[in-house]
Structure 1
Amino acid sequence: MSDEPEEVPRLDVPVGMFEDIEDLKAQLAQLTTLVKTLTGGDDAEPGEASVDDEAAAGEEADEEAAEEDEWQYPPFILLLDPPEYDDELRALIEWVEGVLVPGYLAEPSADARWCHLWFEHSVAIARLHAVWLAWQELTDPASCGYTGPSVWHRDHMDPALRELRGSSGPFSGCTKGEHQIEHRLPSVVPSAWSHGTD
Structure 2
Amino acid sequence: MTDVHSERWQAEVDSRLARLELRADEAALTDASLGGRSSVAATGEQDYPDLDSWVHDYFCATFWRPLGGEFRWCSKWQEHREAVVRLDALWCSWKALRRDPALGLSTWFHNFLDPQLLVLLGARGPFVSCSPERHEL
TM range (shorter): 0.5 to 0.7
1:101 aligns with 2:71: no
Higher relative contact order (CA 8 A, sep 6+): 2
* Higher Rg of the two aligned structures: 1
1:117 aligns with 2:76: yes
Structure 1 residue 114 displacement after superposition: 0.6
Structure 1 residue 107 displacement after superposition: 2.3
* AA of the residue aligned to 1:152: W
> Aligned partners of 2:73 and 2:136: how far apart in 1?
12
With structure 1 as the length reference, what TM-score do the two structures score?
Answer: 0.44
* Residue deviations 1:11-52 (CA, integer Å, cap 9, x gap): xxxxx9xxxxxxxxxxxxxxxxxxxxxxxxxxxxxxxxxxxx
Report the RMSD for the aligned CA atoms in angstroms.
Answer: 1.4
1:173 aligns with 2:129: yes
Q: Please, which runs of 5 or more residues in structure 1 have no aligned partner?
A: 1-15, 17-89, 182-198
SS in structure 1 of the partner of residue 50 of structure 2? helix
Q: Between Structure 1 and Structure 2, how many residues are aligned?
A: 90
* Residue deviations 1:83-141 (CA, integer Å, cap 9, x gap): xxxxxxx8101000000101112221220111111111000000000000000001003
* Residue deviations 1:56-76 (CA, integer Å, cap 9, x gap): xxxxxxxxxxxxxxxxxxxxx
Structure 2 equivalent of residue 128 of structure 1: 87
Determine what percentage of the aligned residue pairs are the same residue.
32
> Aligned partners of 2:124 and 2:87: how far apart in 1?
17
* AA of the residue aligned to 1:179: H
Structure 2 equivalent of residue 160 of structure 1: 116
Structure 1 residue 154 displacement after superposition: 0.5
With structure 2 as the length reference, what TM-score do the two structures score?
Answer: 0.62
Q: Please, which runs of 5 or more residues in structure 2 have no aligned partner?
A: 6-48
Q: How does 1:1-198 map to 2 (within 5 A)?
A: 91-141=50-100, 145-181=101-137
* AA of the residue aligned to 1:140: R
Structure number with higher helix proportion: 2
